[in-house]
Amino acid sequence: MTAMVIPSAGAPSTLLFNWNTIDWKKVIAYVRRLQMRIEKAFREGKHSKAKALQWILTHSFYAKLLAVRRVVQNQGAKTPGVDNITWNTSIQKMKAAMSLKRQGYQTKPLKRIYIPKKQNGEFRPLSIPAMQCRAQQALYLLSLEPIAESIADKNAYGFRPLRSAADAIAQCFIMLARKGSAQYILEGDIRSCFDSISHRWILENTPMDKLMLKKWLAAGYIEKNEFHPTELGTPQGGIISPTLLNVTLSGLENAVKSATKLSDKIHISIYADDFVITGASREILENKVKPAVETFLKERGLSLSQNKTKITHINEGFDFLGMNIRKYGSKLIIKPAKSSVKRLLADIRKTIKSNATTKTEYLLNQLNPKIRGWANYYRHVCAKKAFKYIDCNIFKAIWNWAINRHPNKGRKWVRCKYFRNDKFRNWVFFTKVKRKDGVSINVDLVEMSRTPIKRHIKVKAEATPFDSSYHNYFDKRISERESVKSSSKKKPKWWLQWWNLLKPDDKDRKVRVATTAAL
């Protein structure tokens, strides 16, 4: 195959054969090194240097490759925009990376669809950009993310690298668990957050290429073959939108604390557009904290949802990110919210009923990811009782499914066909599946109650992976997390610890020296 030489801005010429032969370790190392320099320059107040490094990154072919890779590996990669174009082949992906240019780029309108909300059955608007626009957003997100991380609130955990909802819940435990902790909580919810952000504020305060950002904000959307302009908000469905939301809400923690004093026991936990704020009394939250939040949001074109924003006593408890947080006497207990349990069981029963005549293997392939994913999300809290309750209800639904499939067979026959014994477990729903080598194996239904409960250790509030001083911290943290998931003592996969790619390696010394010189 003939080699293709592609020059890249800010990096030496790259010898590539096709998409499948790209050395992704080298690509990631180059991009992350630039991102770290951007974060360091911005943190030190060298904003002009950070802006120049952003330009180098967004014009680098390595960054373009990484942007296209993110788009084609995304869950919505097979969902086209208004142009009905998707990138499936290696040639299409390579051409897409080569076509990412700032000069002459024109955005396409977004395709508007609606998806149901989990809570109330209402529909949420989702705007889908074209593949070209997604890749451009992913490219400029690489340059924005290091700065967004450096200005983000310390206790904001949504849409940030190496942070999760488990960290936000762990922060709630720290805020409320002690005997002398605050007793009142302001549950905050921002009304139509993504759809209401002021374009003027975003353009004036987002440290990135203003021309490109303005094009995305003013792209408009098409619904029922009719074009609608966008004057407010950033589209849900855009790759860069979550980071723009984080930039918009950066400073909320400082705004609240500057309006109060230390004795007010003000602490905050933020996840995307949801947040909880603690206070020593209802009056402090009502008269000091809530007005400070409303003033902060008003500058950005946002407002609180009066129906969902309320002040609660810790003894009454509240729901946050699918968890119920409540004090029983002097003990704080966090467990799965009843509404979350009901939604899961409703989804599982619907899945079982809709597969009344399908193969057992197909049903297990649908149920196991749902059960395993739900259990992994809640395995950091007091969920053992909920796990057993869910297992019991799933068994009842499975048993009814098996009985209805064979109305002319006895219970004992049905049990022998669909259930087996495994040591001390006597009712294991299973099926036999042949592997590629011809060996038959048992595929069992996941039992949620067998998931071990292990408390999550919250990430350091000030830690960011773009700051080299925290690389050893994240290295240890990820290693411990992976060791819990796997019984074997394997090192974490390389893309989880991309900073290891930046360490000296004699094998690639010549490439490293050439890259560093080009910077």
Q: Using one digit for the tens of pLDDT, what is the confidence trace for 372-414?
A: 999 999 999 999 999 999 999 999 999 999 999 999 999 999 9
> At 17, is the pLDDT very low, low, confident or very high (cuts 50, 70, 90)?
low
Say yes or no to pLDDT of 294 above 60. Answer: yes
Which pLDDT band, with edges at 50, 70 and 90, does 332 fall under? very high
Q: Greater confidence, 501 or 462?
A: 462
Nearest CA to 167 among 376, 486, 380? 380
Residue 120 is predicted with a pLDDT of 64
Q: Which of these ranges, 15-19, 56-60, 229-233, has the smallest mean pLDDT?
A: 15-19
CA 503 to chain centroid: 28
What pLDDT was estimated at residue 519?
34
CA separation (Å) from 22 to 4, 11, 19, 39, 498? Answer: 12, 15, 6, 27, 16
pLDDT at 422: 85
- Please report which confidence band the pLDDT of residue 460 belongs to, taking 50, 70 and 90 as the band edges: very high
Distance, CA of 401 to CA of 366 (rounded, Å): 15
CA distance 149 to 467: 10
User: Over pLDDT 90: what percentage of the chain?
Assistant: 70
Q: Rounded distance, CA 133 to CA 105, Å?
A: 9
pLDDT at 283: 96
Higher pLDDT, 224 or 341: 341
Backbone CA torsion sign across 154, 156, 158, 163: positive
The per-residue pLDDT for 233 is: 87
pLDDT at 125: 80
Residue 113 pLDDT: 84
Q: How far is CA 328 from CA 243, 247, 315, in A?
A: 37, 37, 7
Length of the chain: 519
The per-residue pLDDT for range 360-372, each reduced to its tens digit, is 999 999 999 999 9
Q: For 72-91, how does the pLDDT look when each residue is reduced to its tens digit (9 = 90+)?
A: 988 878 888 888 899 999 99
Sole residue written with tokens 């490094």: 53
Residue 502, pLDDT > 90, answer no
pLDDT surpasses 50 at 25: yes
DSSP for 413-457, written as a single string:
HHHHHHEEEETTEEEEEEEEEE-TTS-EEEEEPP-GGGSPP-PPP
Rounded to the nearest 5 percent, the helix, strand and coil shares of the chain are: 50, 20, 35
Measured between alpha carbons, how far apart are the two ends of the chain, in Å? 31
Q: How many CA atoms lie within 13 A of 78 on its CB side?
A: 1
Which three-class secondary structure state does DSSP give residue 333? Answer: strand
User: Largest Cα–Cα distance of the chain, in whole Å?
Assistant: 78
Q: Is the pLDDT of residue 119 over 90?
A: no
pTM (predicted TM-score) = 0.89
State yes or no: pLDDT of 484 exceeds 70. Answer: no
Question: How many CB atoms are located within 10 Å of the residue 171 CB?
Answer: 23
User: Order of strands, edge to edge, in the sheet holding 419-422?
Assistant: 419-422, 425-434, 440-444
Round the average pLDDT of the chain to a whole number and report it.
88
Question: In the structure, what pLDDT confidence band is assigned to residue 331 with cuts at 50, 70 and 90?
Answer: very high
For residue 301, how many C-alpha atoms fall within 13 Å in the half-sphere facing its CB? 18
